[in-house]
Chains A and B, each alone.
Chain A
Amino acid sequence: MTAILGLAACEFRIALRNRWVAIAVAMMAVFALVLSAAGSAPTGEVGADRLSVTVASLTSLAVYLVPLLALLMAFDAVAGEIERGTLPLLLTYPASRGRILAGKAIAHLATLALALAVGYGSAAAAAFAVDPAAANGLPALLRLFWSSLLLGASFLGLGYALSAVARRPGAAAGLAIGVWLVMIVLYDLGLLAAIVADGGGPFTTGVFPWLLLANPADAFRLFNLAASEATTAAAGIGGAANAIPAMQALASVALWPFLAFGLALFALRKVTP
């Protein structure tokens, strides 16, 4: 355990010095504040408190931003060590590869948690400032926070796996952006196109919900929207959210980190320095 914590402490220190912590926190804070300012229109009419509406906006933000931040932090984890020539020495130490990965993951998750806390916290503060009933939305915000961490953990694991497979930081960065583009942007567009072409046929009813659950980002969105009824009013994907129980979406969000870290460990074990 000292080994994992030692690695995590060093990794966090490096993230601080490389300004990664500052960048992540600033990015989340800026986007969260912009969203809560822009999302001030629909209050009152839907009967929801201000914070619940903000959480709905933050959910759509987190789907894009959390995987991006996680991939950006993770792509250098293994490839960077290989390029600097620091990996062979590290691997001769008694700490196993799983522990090395765990140490890095703890540091990166802590960075992400800090950024999310600052971002969501400032959005919540803005909501409280204008609506005294905003406290009703706190459970939804808390749920968003921990499910965002799970989503981030999934993409950290995927990022480590890419980093170990690519072995060069440049290639790893390219792969990371590619994965983000495919899983976050193109995946949904593809599903949308398939639904339109299917016209309410067997694909839409039988396959589509499973495909949504298979993608951690979609499952994350479904979970947060389905769990909070008030937020469905503010989001367009409400139909899909009603078709899939929140627990199934949660299962996907919770299982993905294990799958991703399994992949990462498998890829790291294949690396011969």
Chain B
Amino acid sequence: MTALILSQVTKRFDRTAALTDVTLSVAPGERVALLGHNGAGKSTLMKIVLGLIPADGGRIDVLGVAPGSPAARANVAYLPENAAFHPSLTGEEQIGLFLRLRGEPAGKAGELLDRVGLGDAARRRIGTYSKGMRQRVGLAQALIGRPRLLVLDEPTSGLDPVSRREFYGILDRLAADGAAILLSSHALTEVEARTDRIVILSNGVVVADDTLAGLRRRAALPTRIQISARPGAADAVARELTAGRRNGVMVDLVCAADKKLAHLGSIAAMSDMIEDVDVIPPSLEDIYDHYSRRTLS
């Protein structure tokens, strides 16, 4: 059974369309990243999945039931963007409350906070926490029980690179246990290798839904070859390769991915004039821009 199915979901706020015919699915054990600019509709989509706001049209199936129904809420965990909690409560008390709301003993709070690296701060008030620490409290509450679907709204914002890696490590284990994960981000660089599939939203429309390799292939963005010529040879190299010259020694060559090998062959043939070669594939940001810009025109 698919954990989450959205089929042609539409949502309007007054006259502006927030989501238009959004169709996507997440299978158990799958980690799907939802990418988009601010205002692309990521948070709206998540709130619809959680049943916090109703959709205007389309079909939504959360673990086989309606979004927001008691059965759905019992098995779905949510981490809001900029997770906020009452500043007067300690981390332990806050997680204890969330545990009791899910029918679990409050005593498990310490263990959960340890798991997200907040064991030492468990008895301090949340008002004294940094943004990253609050985000960890948010993550800790999302781990309560064994959620079958996790909806995480920009979960890594406010986390340093080390914490981010730990965070994805936790997600990997959850996915390995069969949990379906839908997480949003505004940067492809943040999610890259740690997700199974990437869905790009632009102005409320799904413009891409594929693996990173698939996105890369379909975008067919040009590869850049950067050649450092030996002193004085830059002009000759540029002429030979019919490429642009950047400065006294660097020569830039931009080509389609499938022409790369042929070019490298001719570069190798001029090895006496060349000091070094770098092949730069399209960056993740380039790929993301490629998809998210398509609908703007």
Contact A92–B86 (Cβ < 8 Å): no
Give the residues in chain B near A143, CB-CB below 8 Å: none
Complex Cα distance, B106 from A258, in Å, reads: 31
Contact B97–A89 (Cβ < 8 Å): no
Give the residues in chain A near B98, CB-CB below 8 Å: 93
Residue of B nearest to A81 (CB): B86
Contact B97–A10 (Cβ < 8 Å): yes
- Which of A13-21, A187-195, A209-217 sits within the interface? A13-21
- Which of B71-79, B189-197, B200-208, B231-239 sits within the interface? B71-79
* Closest Cβ–Cβ distance, residue B44 to chain A (whole Å): 12
- Which of A1-9, A200-208, A227-235, A241-249 sits within the interface? A1-9
Those of B89-116 within 8 Å (CB) of chain A: 89, 93-94, 96-98, 100-103, 106
- Picked from A3, A84, A272, the residue with its CB within 8 Å of the CB of B52 is A272
A30 contacts the other chain (Cβ, under 8 Å)? no
Contact B86–A7 (Cβ < 8 Å): no
Given contacts A6-B106, A14-B86, A18-B88, contact A88 B97 (CB under 8 A): no
Contact A89–B100 (Cβ < 8 Å): no
* Closest Cβ–Cβ distance, residue A232 to chain B (whole Å): 45
A273 contacts the other chain (Cβ, under 8 Å)? yes
Complex Cα distance, B80 from A86, in Å, reads: 9
Those of A15-58 within 8 Å (CB) of chain B: 17-18
Give the residues in chain B near A272, CB-CB below 8 Å: 52-53
Contact B78–A89 (Cβ < 8 Å): yes
- Picked from A13, A86, A96, the residue with its CB within 8 Å of the CB of B84 is A86
Given contacts A6-B106, A88-B52, A273-B52, contact A14 B101 (CB under 8 A): no
B141 contacts the other chain (Cβ, under 8 Å)? yes
Given contacts A6-B100, A7-B101, A273-B52, contact A94 B70 (CB under 8 A): yes
Complex Cα distance, B104 from A2, in Å, reads: 9
Give the residues in chain A near B96, CB-CB below 8 Å: 6
Contact A3–B47 (Cβ < 8 Å): no
Complex Cα distance, B98 from A262, in Å, reads: 26
Give the residues in chain B near A91, CB-CB below 8 Å: 52
* Closest Cβ–Cβ distance, residue B155 to chain A (whole Å): 13
Given contacts A84-B86, A85-B80, contact A94 B73 (CB under 8 A): yes
Contact B97–A6 (Cβ < 8 Å): yes
Contact A86–B86 (Cβ < 8 Å): yes
* Closest Cβ–Cβ distance, residue B225 to chain A (whole Å): 49
Given contacts A14-B88, A88-B80, A89-B141, contact A94 B52 (CB under 8 A): no
A181 contacts the other chain (Cβ, under 8 Å)? no
Residue of A nearest to B50 (CB): A92
A-side interface residues, number (CB < 8 Å): 24
- Picked from A2, A14, A18, A88, the residue with its CB within 8 Å of the CB of B103 is A2
Give the residues in chain A near B97, CB-CB below 8 Å: 6-7, 9-10
Complex Cα distance, B98 from A92, in Å, reads: 11
Residue of A nearest to B74 (CB): A94
Complex Cα distance, B86 from A84, in Å, reads: 8
Give the residues in chain B near A89, CB-CB below 8 Å: 78, 80, 83-84, 138, 141
Interface flags for A149-166 (1: CB within 8 Å of B; 0: not) read 000000000000000000
Contact B101–A93 (Cβ < 8 Å): yes
A142 contacts the other chain (Cβ, under 8 Å)? no
Give the residues in chain A near B47, CB-CB below 8 Å: 88, 273
Interface flags for B5-30 (1: CB within 8 Å of A; 0: not) read 00000000000000000000000000
* Closest Cβ–Cβ distance, residue B60 to chain A (whole Å): 15
- Picked from A3, A13, A92, the residue with its CB within 8 Å of the CB of B89 is A13
Contact A92–B76 (Cβ < 8 Å): yes
Given contacts A6-B96, A86-B84, contact A92 B78 (CB under 8 A): yes
Give the residues in chain A near B80, CB-CB below 8 Å: 85, 88-89
* Closest Cβ–Cβ distance, residue A160 to chain B (whole Å): 17
Complex Cα distance, B104 from A32, in Å, reads: 43
Those of A57-108 within 8 Å (CB) of chain B: 84-86, 88-89, 91-96
- Picked from B51, B84, B94, the residue with its CB within 8 Å of the CB of A84 is B84
What are the 3 closest A-B residue pairs judged by CB atoms, nearest first?
A6-B100, A85-B84, A17-B88
Q: Give me the interface of A with B, judged by CB distance under 8 Å.
A: 2-3, 5-7, 9-10, 13-14, 17-18, 84-86, 88-89, 91-96, 272-273
Offer 11 A-B interface pairs, CB within 8 angstroms, sorted by A. A3-B101, A6-B96, A6-B100, A13-B88, A13-B93, A14-B89, A85-B80, A88-B78, A89-B138, A92-B73, A94-B74
* Besides the known contacts A10-B89, A88-B52, A92-B52, 17 further A-B residue pairs in the complex with CB atoms under 8 A apart: A3-B100, A3-B103, A5-B100, A9-B97, A13-B89, A14-B88, A89-B78, A89-B138, A92-B73, A92-B76, A92-B78, A94-B70, A94-B74, A94-B103, A272-B53, A273-B52, A273-B53
